[in-house]
Structure 1
Amino acid sequence: MELWASARRSKVIGVIVGLGYLVLLCTIGVESRKSSKRDCFEYEAISCRAHSASVSDFGGVGDGTTVNTQAFRAAIDHLSQFSSEGGSLLYVPPGRWLTGSFNLTSYFTLYLDKDAVLLGSQDESEYPLIEPLPSYGRGRDADGARFSSLIFGNNLTDVVITGANGTIDGQGELWWTKFRAGELNYTRPYLIEIMFSTSIQISNLTLINSPSWNVHPVYCSNVVVQGLTILAPVRSPNTDGINPDSCTNTRIQDCYIVSGDDCVAVKSGWDEYGIAFGMPTKRLVIRRLTCISPTSAVIALGSEMSGGIEDVRAEDITAINSESGVRIKTAVGRGGYVKDIYVRRMTLKTMKWVFWMTGNYGSHPDNNYDPSAIPMIQNINYRDVVAENVTMAARLEGIPGDPFTGICMSNVTIGLAQNPKKLQWNCSDVAGITSEVTPKPCDLLPDQGQGKIRACNYPEDNSPIENMEVQTCSSIRNRW
């Protein structure tokens, strides 16, 4: 948080001057030499900017067929000169803007108009190849390199990707087809990936048809993801919604996700590579999330969790027609830990499982993993859960000789489907307690009886990410 505060102090004079100019423009209006009219728009962001430009100022054409990759790159390169002068904003006007991968810069905002659609190119050459993540050792889809994401950033400070619910369309169907056919030599691009960065906001956008994961902050701190609508066909491969990965202080809120994979997948590296890199995901807040994912979890912890996952707080979660609520995925060889997980107020409708923990997930990057690297799963808390039309209450499978411990469930009511499983709780190698849970839990989670234990824990203190607030900013745009 000190870096965040220092960055804001260093910009305050420039921002005040820049915003004063914007207020003047918004108040009196301006006629340009080309007889365009300039007006202002407001948006919510962690930082306001003193300078702005439109991608059309750099030769961009929003006709859906012109490739604008160089226009975006040129615009951001030009605007990067203002990083020490109050920062800059790149405005994407109404239109359909076809582009390949481009890199962001620090103290920068990318803003999409409500009628702007950013179209991801389907040409592999428009996505530079980059090295595997050090905590993974290889690409997720294939050995070796991976395609850069459509919107990419590395070693940045203070970056905002936002809009008036403008759209980023990854045009992923061609990528999905190639992936299924084994025709890709490298890992598919994500829509948005930010690496080794701090003070990041991704908000108020619609993301559709990503080639793979949608939003991937990795090795980042102080991240806010809010107000996203993420849509993909429910059978599309690996179209995870939001994947915080080896990140500290992250807040995900007010998002609606329809996905072919997990809606939120919390990660921290894969087997021996994640253990060696040793960067956990911690202090994560997830709230007011709505998810539809018939084949995957609303919130998944893992399976790549070898750097550790701790202090995750999830509340006010709604799921419809999803495979499971909160799922822990791990295996022998992962190492690491998942601990201090707190979930409350889940409303689930039409689920295969409400609770699912898996200690035999498998899927290793190579054969060099350590079979003695046993993960630790402990202090997992669920309370105030209502579910209906459920096939099976819980499938809880720890690791033989290494049980998942400290599981607590309280005030849970599960209504069963018309043809439910005969066995509602399938438990092995787990330990914990329950209170006021229906249907009756397995013997490994003994019912303590009404009123005999407090509700399962949920921290009363604020997570540090709560100190990262958004403010109302103003900028200008041309109206021809």
Structure 2
Amino acid sequence: MASNIFTFGGVFLLVAVASAFDIWSVDHIPNAKKSNDQVIRVRDINVPAGTALDFQGFDGKTIEFHGRVTFGYKEWEGHLIIIKGKNMNIKGMPGHLIDGEGHRWWDKCGGNCGKKKPFMMYTQLENSYVDGLRIKNTPAWCFAINQCSNVHYSNIDIDNRDGHTKGGHNTDGFDVHKSRNIRIYNSKVNNQDDCLAINSGWDIVFENNVCEGGHGIAVAVGGYDVNEAKNILIKNCKVIKNNIGIRVKTLLNGKGIVDGVTFDNVELKDISETGIVIIGNYLNSGPREKPTGGIPIKNLNIRNVRGNVLHNGTNVLVNVAPGSPSGWIWDSNVWGGKPNKNCLGVPNTIADPCAK
């Protein structure tokens, strides 16, 4: 622990300052891990191709990002940044930028074909904070939030807008899997896929966020080792110029449960395809066949979801196995697109939301 001496009114004050270890190269990481410094400063690093900027074994430490972080080019399926640990504080400092330079991988087909593309950032954290990161042009998916518990992600800016014209695809903002008590708030995502995709998890809050250009906010359950999403709150968000506004989609022939998903005060603007989507026949290649009820959607609460769909789009789509959903509450005002006369499985306890 270092200290600084200041004077105030002629009195000397001794102020303790946390010691810091500066990293300018990935070669410095082993020594940083061994040090007693509480703050690790990442400064203007270029990470070699095919190598992760790997922060494992830094429990209790603060990781600060300064300057510009870049990565060498390689086709691979790893992660450009890995952060695992407990009681960590990950901070983006003023003027920093984590630049994936994703145009080198972009080929309009993301993870479905073409070049192998790495994830931007893998986090597996407990009792930790991730705040203030600025991330630009990810090769494909940005945040993998995997097996995390009690973690806050705040004031994060994911800027993949260049991908709209340069072939970006599958540039998800936040992907959540097998995680509990997660809060994502006060953040922005401009991308070409889901702003948020919750594949499984419990007690998750997505609040005060802006999603632009992508595929909307999704609870997408099925096809994984854990197919359960419970107590999910999406609140006070804006979805702008996405193809979908909000959706709950469960895998065709999947098994699991979706229980307690709430969309509260979500504003939609200029949605091109469908404002609200609730389906039980999802496949990666697109929904098809009759929906199956092996992943029932229970206690869905649509509260003050409002805004416009472009005139060639559809306001609301519900296509779930009749009898499988229960406990739905619905209050939406989506306009501008076409009403849908082919909705299936709407519980008889609510008015048909597709008719408007």
TM-score range normalised by the length of the shorter chain: 0.7 to 0.9
- Cα distance between partner residues in 1 of 2:252 and 2:156: 35
Residue aligning to 1:261? 193
Residue aligning to 1:441? 353
- Cα distance between partner residues in 2 of 1:373 and 1:408: 19
Query: Could you tell me which amino acid in structure 1 is paired with residue 279 of structure 2?
Result: T
Q: Which residue of the other structure, out of 76, 88, 102, is the alignment partner of 2:38? A: 88
Shift of 1:425: 5.5
Q: Which residue of the other structure, out of 144, 149, 165, is the alignment partner of 1:216? A: 144
- Cα distance between partner residues in 1 of 2:91 and 2:295: 37
Change (3 A) 1:179 1:376: same
Map Cα deviations across residues 298-346 of structure 1 (whole Å, 9 max, x no partner). Answer: 3343355643000001110111111222211212332111110112111
Shift of 1:108: 2.4
8 A Cα contact 2:300 2:327, kept in partner: yes
Residue aligning to 1:44? none
Map Cα deviations across residues 7-58 of structure 1 (whole Å, 9 max, x no partner). Answer: xxxxxxxxxxx3xx34x26x48xxxxxxxxxxx9xxxxxxx99431112xxx
- Cα distance between partner residues in 2 of 1:178 and 1:326: 23
Change (3 A) 1:49 1:119: farther
Residue aligning to 1:106? 59
8 A Cα contact 2:314 2:340, kept in partner: yes
Map Cα deviations across residues 376-424 of structure 1 (whole Å, 9 max, x no partner). Answer: 211100112221244322011113x5533332112x32231xxx32x34
- Cα distance between partner residues in 2 of 1:376 and 1:222: 27
Query: Could you tell me which amino acid in structure 2 is paired with residue 288 of structure 1?
Result: N
Instruction: Say if 2:107 is the partner of 1:177.
Output: yes
Query: Could you tell me which amino acid in structure 1 is paired with residue 40 of structure 2?
Result: L
8 A Cα contact 2:69 2:98, kept in partner: yes
8 A Cα contact 2:126 2:149, kept in partner: yes
Report the structure, 1 or 2, having the larger strand content. 2
Instruction: Say if 2:324 is the partner of 1:403.
Output: yes
Map Cα deviations across residues 244-303 of structure 1 (whole Å, 9 max, x no partner). Answer: 2110010000011111100011013xxxxxxxxxxxx00001110101134x12334335
Instruction: Give TM-score, length-normalised by structure 2.
Output: 0.82
Residue aligning to 1:198? 126
Gaps of 5+ in 1: 1-17, 29-39, 41-47, 61-70, 128-146, 269-280, 365-370, 448-480
For residue 112 of structure 1, give the secondary structure of its aligned residue in structure 2.
strand
Change (3 A) 1:425 1:405: farther
**Matched length:** 330
Aligned-pair identity (%): 20
- Cα distance between partner residues in 2 of 1:258 and 1:207: 11
Change (3 A) 1:382 1:322: same
8 A Cα contact 2:293 2:324, kept in partner: no
Shift of 1:204: 0.5
Residue aligning to 1:242? 174
8 A Cα contact 1:395 1:425, kept in partner: no
Residue aligning to 1:75? 28
Q: Which residue of the other structure, out of 311, 315, 325, is the alignment partner of 2:231? A: 311
Residue aligning to 1:163? 92
Shift of 1:182: 4.0
Change (3 A) 1:227 1:425: farther
- Cα distance between partner residues in 1 of 2:341 and 2:29: 54
8 A Cα contact 2:159 2:190, kept in partner: yes
- Cα distance between partner residues in 2 of 1:302 and 1:254: 25
8 A Cα contact 2:318 2:354, kept in partner: no
For residue 34 of structure 2, give the secondary structure of its aligned residue in structure 1.
helix
Shift of 1:433: 4.2
8 A Cα contact 1:199 1:222, kept in partner: yes
Map Cα deviations across residues 164-202 of structure 1 (whole Å, 9 max, x no partner). Answer: 252111122222239669454x6x32111023x312322
Shift of 1:98: 4.4
- Cα distance between partner residues in 2 of 1:255 and 1:304: 28
Instruction: Give TM-score, length-normalised by structure 1.
Output: 0.62
Query: Could you tell me which amino acid in structure 2 is paired with residue 161 of structure 1?
Result: I
For residue 78 of structure 1, give the secondary structure of its aligned residue in structure 2.
helix
Instruction: Say if 2:79 is the partner of 1:149.
Output: yes
8 A Cα contact 2:180 2:202, kept in partner: yes
Residue aligning to 1:119? 70
Q: Which residue of the other structure, out of 208, 221, 232, is the alignment partner of 1:302? A: 221
Map Cα deviations across residues 63-96 of structure 1 (whole Å, 9 max, x no partner). Answer: xxxxxxxx22x333222235xx5x6222134x46
Gaps of 5+ in 2: 8-14, 286-290
Residue aligning to 1:12? none
Map Cα deviations across residues 182-241 of structure 1 (whole Å, 9 max, x no partner). Answer: 454x6x32111023x312322212111111211111011111111011111235111000
Instruction: Say if 2:254 is the partner of 1:286.
Output: no
Query: Could you tell me which amino acid in structure 1 is paired with residue 31 of structure 2?
Result: H
- Cα distance between partner residues in 1 of 2:240 and 2:108: 30
8 A Cα contact 1:257 1:290, kept in partner: yes
Shift of 1:372: 9.1
Cα RMSD, aligned residues only = 3.0
Residue aligning to 1:97? 46
Residue aligning to 2:344? 428
For residue 281 of structure 2, give the secondary structure of its aligned residue in structure 1.
coil
